[in-house]
A = this chain, B = another copy of it.
Amino acid sequence: MTTTGKQLFTTLEADGKLTVASEDVTFPDPTGNEVLVKMEAAPINPSDLAILVGAADMENASYTPGKFVATVPEPFSAGSKARHGIKLPAGNEGAGTVVAAGDSDAAKALVGQRVSCVPGNAYSQYCIANAAMCLPLGDHSAEEGASAFVNPMTALGFVETAKRDGQDAILHTVGASNLGQMLTLICKEDSIGLVNIVRKSEQADLLGKLGSTHVVNSSDEDFMQRLGAAIDDTGAFYGFDPIGGGKSVDTAFKAMEQVAVSRMTEYSRYGSNQPKRMFIYGRLDTGPTILSPSYGFGWTLSGWLLTPFLQSAGGETVGRMRQRVRDNLTTIFASSYKRRVNLDEMLTKEAVTDYRKMKTGEKYLVTPWS
């Protein structure tokens, strides 16, 4: 069987030239535990944007049908040295229908079914995917299942990470994001305290409607005071941040320490003994992370990434998480999209300029056959 179709590739040269284009390719036959999926829908997540656009100057890029060529400025190009000259696929996740399978029983059982999958080249008309990572969607549409992996498993992963560390409350610095809304509903269901930081009153309203009890608006004048009160109330000395650059984590640590110090009966030059823990799980701001020396030494900051977390969590936990996603695909884990684009349309100036903003509630969905 020969399967041909279009697939998107992204290549960064050593001189900073970034070429992203859809090309006609021939897909291999699936072997072993692999399946061949005819892709119907794939979201453009922030985690996809780094490799797709990164820090490229998209304003002055050249756009032709099915292709753009842009320049990635320094130091960002040099910072991606390891990918220089390598033609990479893009698109972490998506959904489609299994049209062929390798020899394994698990793979063969999926033929004809609609599944969500994590192929790593989801911006493509066909993908080879690992059957073990496919989630059968039953009667759900491809659009409903397109984002069944990255955001749902990340939000669930935060709660699993917190529980493993003996925490019963979480702080999330971008509360109203798609992922933040999922986290809000999960925490409500699991009786985990949650402090949501937002930037706008509409976002606060949105989370309030989802049942979030501690929403703090960073645009408010008394933001730090309110943040402290929410931390004091929930005990959320443990949080997750998708911004990365700037002072997002710093602000969280400061507020946590203020609460901890207010609970101390005696002054210590070293700050409080309250352990404070933050995780950076994204880089919405690609600038450096700034940590001011104002919360003593009782803090820990880590990067957090889904794949290593899943590897460390073990099969039983991951299986339970996946089942929960499937059971709540149109409720807790529902995603919404601003616009649908095919593989050519996603490479136009208008589209790129819009989706790279990563605005809350304005996600794009790639529909490669439209």
Contacts and interface: CB of A to CB of B under 8 A. Distances in A.
Contacts of A286: 293
Counted per complex, copies of this chain come to: 2
B289 A283 contact: no
Nearest to A302: B300
B303 A296 contact: yes
B82 A267 contact: yes
Contacts of A86: 267
Contacts of A296: 303, 305
Given A289-B291, A290-B289, A290-B290, A297 B280 contact: yes
B293 A291 contact: no
A290 B287 CA distance: 10
Given A269-B51, A302-B299, A305-B270, A291 B294 contact: no
A301 B301 contact: yes
Contact of A244 (B289, B290, B293, B307): B293
A283 B293 contact: yes
A83 to B, nearest CB: 5
A88 B267 contact: yes
Contacts of A300: 300-303
A161 interface: no
B288 A292 contact: yes
B267 A308 contact: no
A264 B51 CA distance: 18
Given A51-B269, A280-B297, 20 more contacts: A83-B267, A86-B267, A245-B293, A250-B288, A270-B305, A270-B307, A283-B293, A286-B293, A287-B293, A288-B293, A289-B291, A289-B292, A290-B290, A297-B305, A297-B308, A299-B302, A299-B303, A300-B301, A300-B302, A300-B303
